[in-house]
Amino acid sequence: MHNDRDLVLKSIQKAVSSKEIDKEIDTLDSSFEIEHYYAFENKISELQTACKNLDIFLFVHDDENTIQESIRSYLQALDPKESYGLTGCLAICSRTATLLFDSSKNRIESIQPDHHIVVADSKQLYPNLIDLFHKIDLEKYSMFTFTTGASRTADIEKTLVKGAHGPKSLAIFLQK
């Protein structure tokens, strides 16, 4: 009986060669990459929709050099008499285009100028606020701020005023 068991094990090992195992692993890796790609593309699509609804400028690029060129072009299009602030952020919620900032840093640059420019990486993109709260350790920050869009109010005579309590425009430059 012992010899029969060894024969069965040897035949199983031959049937499942290392090439077949590698092929199965490649298939699993490919399906994970595809799932990750679609999850990423879904977050980008949600962010684009939210930004469009909130009049936020969104620029998504593959590399840092293209982002730098895009920021230069964006700055050249601004009125030279107006100010701008350039900051990073801790995270972005793609569903609502909400940005999370460490308020102990760059506070003036994010609320005082006429235009706020945020540079972020796709690794900072979360599908919703719940995921963002679970992944970011907020306890290590003394203060933080959530920003969703540029400053706007319609308090006075129900007339929309942009930039009353902060920047009148917000632009996000996201590196894939």
Q: Which of 173, 93, 100 is nearest to 130 (CA)?
A: 93
Element at 61 (helix H, strand E): strand 57-61
Contact 54, 92 (CB under 8 A): no
Q: Nearest 10 degrees: CA dihedral of 148, 154, 156, 159?
A: 140
Domains held by the chain: number: 1
Of these ranges, 12-21, 24-33, 108-117, the one predicted with the greatest mean pLDDT is 108-117
What pLDDT is stored for residue 32 in this prediction?
A: 46
Range of the domain at 48: 2-175
CATH number at residue 65: 3.40.50.10420
What pLDDT is stored for residue 108 in this prediction?
A: 61
Phi/psi of residue 87, each to 5°?
-140, 170
Residue 109 above 50 pLDDT? yes
Contact 43, 127 (CB under 8 A): yes
Report percent pLDDT > 70 for the chain: 73
Question: Alpha-carbon distance 171 to 54, whole Å?
Answer: 11
pTM (two decimals): 0.72
Of these ranges, 29-38, 54-63, 98-107, 141-150, the one predicted with the greatest mean pLDDT is 54-63
DSSP 118: E
Contact 143, 29 (CB under 8 A): no
List the Cα angle 51/146/142 in 5-degree steps: 155
Span 109-118, average pLDDT: 78
Contact 118, 56 (CB under 8 A): no
Residue 28: pLDDT band (50, 70, 90) is very low
